[in-house]
Structure 1
């Protein structure tokens, strides 16, 4: 994301002009824009004009509109953001208060105005505009006949390609057909890797599968690379890492990212940091339950005692339509940071974020035990 201009007053009112440069930037924009904000961007509008003879013609014109956002629709597959709302600035083609849908696209600037920019929104702008904060890990999750090519960024797990093929079973007298089917499958996966993984950016490619599928695929890929003198694969051979996974489906990524060897390899990425924090929370919940709690009520009580060491919170909570509740979460985050606590903001589109949402979307590891909170839980039950 490129920051063009930022004009925010001490009171928190103001506007920010941004240019999304990659698919993940659209996710950041989705988290930044709330209902009631005003967004200014160029758009195409169908305009009908009537001639002196009474015949009417319709033309599509490009114009700049400012709308007050009422509905927000994010398409995760196309990484496109659609905003619907009323026009709030004079325009020669669109009447005041007429409804229009703005589509935010990559490499097209937009201005976002808020009545109040809170610390979470401003932090999101900083993260989006700092390319070093994006993770750079890819994963090939596979089993015989099924493979998913995923990109693991700091905000989401994107499935870039899915290969689903029927491989003939290994039966007596039909071994050659099985081998041929497997070879074709591996070739399709290799082509998808070359097409969807940018080796200039990606630091680590995890090849995950049950059994020996990953080893066979890795061996096949580099045999072909040597035969065809594929310099791109040969130069990046050290980036590939073979890891066990229970299946070839996306949900197996969770266990892969918990593997100590994998965590060490990608420890400088945010994805690993989130997974590590969640692992610590589960471990604490099992071994010292009086130092691990989830749910807003308990965490607010722990914060009053300045007991929160690490807060784990889903970005989904900051997209809630209840302004009062959103402000409550922002206040909690600011207060924990002020008292020296660490805040981990999880993305609801990331595997770890999906897991955290099962625990109400907010959890905390405490500095010291608070058994009285456990007693409160028992009373509530």
Structure 2
């Protein structure tokens, strides 16, 4: 993402370069924000005429904000505040701005520290290598992409090979299976982890080496217990994805939740537990913050956007020098965190 912010006026000019960037923009927007962009608006020259769409520059006051994950498009709907050409603009009428990669959008608002931090994170993530994961065994391969906003299953490829087939027929079916996986992998210009139980991934490696050595340089081979999405999440919990992808957001969240669960394991079911250097739930976290005990705060982004109490708590934590990590509430780790009240913290010292 390309971003420039005028702190005096509160205007941020944002140019997303991917659907991950657009997702980050959606996360920092809220009702009442002023959004300006080039758009298309239907112009009816006369009554009863259907008219046609004309290009306009329009400024709206946001009311409804929707990110469409399948298309990677952000739709922002609100009443028109200003725009030009004036003959195509009706002040006070509703309009929807579509935010897509490559097109600049301006946002004017009172920016909060965590929102500015997210924009910085989006710029940083855009420079990191992207990653695909193939979890495979002799029967099936599951392919997923690790993106800034989470892990997305792309497809499944099934093998038609049967051990009942004669050797030549079986070998041809296996080669076709491997070839289908290789064709999919070749479409990604970034790193790919190939993992699975047993020796199938090793056999696939030999196939790639014989058929496309250039692709082999982008592949990393690891072990996991199965070829389903659960096998892919297993890789992320083990820290393998972060090591290869350079701390991809989704993997980082899973690792931190594992660390947190380890810190509280064996302890009581509320407040602090385990070593005593962790707290969860708004009451326990607020108490730890009052003592200046929070080292790192984890919070679901939806909770911050939805509840003013949590937003103020997060702001106080940032002011105290604590590092704040915002989780995607709709992803694997975010759902885990939701089970702990949507907010948790690592502590510098025990709080009684």
Is TM > 0.5 for Structure 1 vs Structure 2? yes
Please give the secondary structure, in 1, of the residue aligned with 2:87.
Answer: coil
1:59-70 correspondence runs (5 A): 59-70=52-63
Structure 2 vs 1, CA of residues 180 and 24 (structure 1 numbering), >3 Å: closer, same or farther?
same
CA apart distance, 1:281: 0.6
Residue 71 of structure 2 corresponds to residue 85 of structure 1: no
Quote the Cα distance in structure 2 between the aligned partners of 1:336 and 1:143: 46
Work out whether residues 313 and 345 of structure 1, in 8 Å CA contact, stay in contact via their aligned partners in 2.
yes
Work out whether residues 129 and 246 of structure 2, in 8 Å CA contact, stay in contact via their aligned partners in 1.
no
2:7 corresponds in structure 1 to 8
Q: 2:223 aligns with which of 244, 247, 250?
A: 244
Q: 1:142 aligns with which of 136, 156, 162?
A: 136
Please give the secondary structure, in 2, of the residue aligned with 1:368.
Answer: coil
Residue 215 of structure 2 corresponds to residue 233 of structure 1: yes
CA apart distance, 1:263: 5.3
Please give the secondary structure, in 2, of the residue aligned with 1:359.
Answer: coil
Please give the secondary structure, in 2, of the residue aligned with 1:21.
Answer: coil
1:347 corresponds in structure 2 to 328
What whole-Å deviation, never above 9, does each CA across 1:272-298 have from its counterpart, x for those lacking one? 543332221111111451333322222
Work out whether residues 297 and 322 of structure 2, in 8 Å CA contact, stay in contact via their aligned partners in 1.
yes
Structure 2 vs 1, CA of residues 133 and 359 (structure 1 numbering), >3 Å: closer, same or farther?
farther
Q: 1:108 aligns with which of 84, 103, 106?
A: 103
2:186 corresponds in structure 1 to 194
Work out whether residues 134 and 153 of structure 1, in 8 Å CA contact, stay in contact via their aligned partners in 2.
no
Work out whether residues 135 and 271 of structure 1, in 8 Å CA contact, stay in contact via their aligned partners in 2.
no
Q: 2:295 aligns with which of 309, 316, 326?
A: 309
Structure 2 vs 1, CA of residues 206 and 340 (structure 1 numbering), >3 Å: closer, same or farther?
same
Structure 2 vs 1, CA of residues 354 and 194 (structure 1 numbering), >3 Å: closer, same or farther?
farther
Work out whether residues 225 and 233 of structure 1, in 8 Å CA contact, stay in contact via their aligned partners in 2.
yes
What whole-Å deviation, never above 9, does each CA across 1:120-152 have from its counterpart, x for those lacking one? 111122222335764643322233443333332
1:190-339 correspondence runs (5 A): 190-195=182-187, 197-199=188-190, 202=191, 205-226=192-213, 232-234=214-216, 236=217, 239-259=218-238, 264-265=243-244, 268-287=247-266, 289=273, 290-320=276-306, 325-326=307-308, 328-339=309-320
Q: 1:26 aligns with which of 22, 26, 50?
A: 22
RMSD value, Cα: 2.7
Work out whether residues 145 and 185 of structure 1, in 8 Å CA contact, stay in contact via their aligned partners in 2.
no
Quote the Cα distance in structure 1 between the aligned partners of 2:21 and 2:111: 19
Quote the Cα distance in structure 2 between the aligned partners of 1:156 and 1:281: 20
Structure 2 vs 1, CA of residues 252 and 302 (structure 1 numbering), >3 Å: closer, same or farther?
same
What whole-Å deviation, never above 9, does each CA across 1:69-118 have from its counterpart, x for those lacking one? 1212211122111112221225422322212221111111111111x211
Quote the Cα distance in structure 1 between the aligned partners of 2:125 and 2:158: 37
What whole-Å deviation, never above 9, does each CA across 1:349-374 have from its counterpart, x for those lacking one? 5543343233332211222333x5xx
Structure 2 gap ranges (5+): 268-272
Structure 1 gap ranges (5+): 227-231, 373-381
Quote the Cα distance in structure 1 between the aligned partners of 2:113 and 2:241: 33
TM-score normalized by the length of structure 2? 0.86
